[in-house]
Amino acid sequence: MENVTENITVEQIKDAVKEHDIRVWKLRGCSICLIPLTYSFNGDDPTYDSNCDCVSYSTEPEPRSWESIAEIFNMQTPAIRMYMWNEFLAAGSK
């Protein structure tokens, strides 16, 4: 388990995506239908997909900045951030 006590940087995320071959990262499910929302890393910028239309009218994947991915980690308490970071790394195929 990687110990993460500092804020996660965009560079760390980009490196992890490459190093661990992370393509899809599943996050907590929709509060209504429980389908997990996902972030995909298949090109230049990450893509957000709610995978359902309970709360948004659009079901199309939307581009997200790398900074916004870092924010997801850095808005957490250190313990949860570390847990999420290790889940993120485990989402990769390497």
Nearer to Zn ion, 10 or 54 (CB): 54
E-state strands within 1-94: 24-29, 36-40, 47-49, 62-63
Mark 12-51 with x for binding to Zn ion (rule: CB under 5 A) and - for no binding: ------------------x-xx------------------
CB 16 within 8 A of CB 8: no
Q: How far is the CB of 17 from Zn ion (least distance, A)?
A: 26
Q: Does 52 participate in binding Zn ion (rule CB under 5 A)?
A: yes
| CB-count exposure of residue 53 (10 Å: 0-12, 13-18, 19+) | exposed
Chain contacts with Zn ion (rule: CB under 5 A): 30, 32-33, 52, 54
